[in-house]
């Protein structure tokens, strides 16, 4: 089944990277070097994750400011609502807008085990989307040059707290109706899961672009950590192939080839872009991109 209408593309699929903020001065240098290396590929935007809007926001601002002031890139800043009041989040949103940020990924964030929910926090991400849109209406002077792009998360595999896959689709629809412009998926390893998500979403009335997210499949340690955090597991055969590879070069070759196969399948099915979770390492992300040849999807439109 095709995921999106197979319209000819006039340009390459959208390209974006996810980075996380530095934890200290050494890692700030490292992420700056990563940003510089990724900039050469002319991504449409780079996203900056946020572990907690309450505690690591200064580090988010630091990396965002670097991107805005010292590169030609556009940041998409993640904002999580868990642990923050609407008043705190309003301050964060206005701060981002005043810095020049025009794209926000509105998330709830993971609930830590044993966490005691605050009375004044939003239970779901859609309320954060609504808050961003409300502030946008109030800040027309700041936004003279245009509106904010607001993205949300969605899941090709069921979100761990969702009772069913269909529930996830309903949630995505509420986020679109609250004002989301696009969605980025959690990483997945089976292209059919992405096609299925898009097909169900379209059937339910979701119209916004659904951009697939990918983890470069080069490191067992990273894939294992990712599975612990997200509940999404890389195929056991792939982990086995990485573990039994003859050395780092072979491991890298296997990982990049697997990522490229997955991304190609999804782009061939009509996906509107590629979002790479870089873990602040540019070498593997660039390796994937090199082999992928994104321009191919502009030269040879899908489905024609
Ligand atoms: P929501 O959309 O609020 O959904 C959370 C849960 O509540 C889901 O199970 C949903 O089905 C359920 N739900 C929602 N609305 C309703 C309703 N009305 N009634 C009943 N149930 C409902 N986490 C971070 O901490 N920092 C990051 O920077 C970050 N970046 C991410 C980037 C991407 C692309 C993705 C896919 C995830 C990212 N996450 C990040 C993880 C994300 O915060 C978690 O997956 C979190 O558990 C859910 O966030 P959400 O925004 O999807 O929440």
Burial of 67 (0-12, 13-18, 19+ CB in 10 A): buried
Pairing of strands 45-48, 213-214: unpaired
Question: 109: CA distance to ligand 1 center in Å?
Answer: 6
| Structural tokens at position 130 | 């609504």
Any ligand 1 atom below 6 A from CB of 196: no
Whole-number Å distance, alpha carbon 284 to ligand 1 midpoint, is 27
Ligand 1 geometric centre to CA of 63 (Å): 23
Nearest to 66 by CA among 94, 106, 27: 27
Helices (H) and strands (E) counted in the chain, each on its own, are 11, 9
For ligand 1, atom 38: residue with the closest CA:
153
Sign, CA dihedral 35-288-185-16, equals positive
DSSP string, 8-22: PPSSPPEEEEEE---
Q: What is the pLDDT of residue 304?
A: 31
206 within ligand 1 shell (Cβ under 6 A): no
Please tell me the pTM assigned to this model: 0.94
Q: What is the pLDDT of residue 24?
A: 85
Q: Which of 12, 71, 43, 52 is nearest to 278 (CA)?
A: 43
DSSP, collapsed to helix, strand or coil, labels residue 223 as helix
How much is the pLDDT for 1? 43
193 vs 22: CA distance, rounded Å: 33
Q: Which residues contact 205 (CB under 8 A, 6 or more apart)?
A: 173
Q: From ligand 1's centre to the CA of 168, what distance in Å?
A: 10
For residue 134, count CB atoms less than 10 angstroms from its CB and return exposed for 0-12, middle for 13-18, buried for 19 or more: middle
Token pair for residue 273?
Answer: 């872009």
Question: How many CA atoms lie less than 13 Å away from 247 in the CB half-sphere?
Answer: 1
- Residue 228 token pair: 């612990």
Token pair for 46:
């780079």
Ligand 1 touching residue 49 (CB < 6 A) = yes
Mean pLDDT per 10-residue interval, the chain, length 304 residues: 51 94 89 96 96 84 97 97 95 95 96 86 97 93 81 96 96 98 98 98 98 97 94 97 97 98 96 96 96 83 42
Structure tokens at 50: 């946020």
């Amino acid at each position: 089944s095709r995921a999106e209408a197979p319209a000819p593309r006039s340009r390459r699929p959208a390209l974006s990277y996810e980075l996380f903020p530095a934890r200290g001065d050494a890692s700030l240098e490292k992420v700056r070097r990563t940003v510089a290396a990724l900039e050469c590929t002319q991504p449409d935007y780079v996203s900056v994750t946020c572990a907690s809007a309450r505690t690591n926001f200064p580090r988010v601002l630091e990396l965002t400011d670097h991107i805005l002031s010292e590169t030609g890139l556009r940041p998409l800043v993640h904002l999580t609502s868990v642990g923050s009041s609407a008043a705190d989040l309003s301050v964060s949103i206005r701060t981002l807008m005043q810095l020049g940020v025009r794209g926000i990924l509105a998330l709830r964030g993971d609930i830590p085990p044993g966490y005691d929910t605050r009375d004044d926090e939003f239970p779901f991400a859609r309320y954060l989307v609504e808050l961003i849109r409300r502030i946008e209406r109030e800040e027309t002077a700041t936004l003279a040059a245009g509106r904010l792009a607001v993205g949300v998360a969605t899941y090709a595999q069921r979100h761990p707290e969702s009772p069913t896959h269909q529930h996830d689709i309903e949630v995505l629809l509420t986020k679109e109706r609250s004002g989301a412009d696009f969605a980025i998926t959690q990483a997945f390893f089976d292209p059919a899961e992405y096609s299925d998500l898009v097909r169900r979403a379209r059937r339910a009335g979701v119209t916004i672009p659904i951009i697939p997210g990918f983890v470069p499949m080069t490191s067992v340690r990273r894939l294992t950590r990712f599975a612990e955090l997200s509940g999404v597991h890389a195929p056991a055969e792939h982990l086995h192939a990485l573990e039994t590879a003859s050395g780092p070069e072979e491991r890298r070759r296997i990982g990049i080839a697997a990522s490229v196969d997955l991304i190609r399948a999804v782009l061939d099915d009509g996906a509107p872009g590629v979002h790479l979770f870089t873990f602040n390492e540019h070498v593997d992300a660039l390796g994937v991109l090199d082999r992928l040849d994104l321009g191919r999807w502009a030269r040879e439109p899908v489905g024609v």
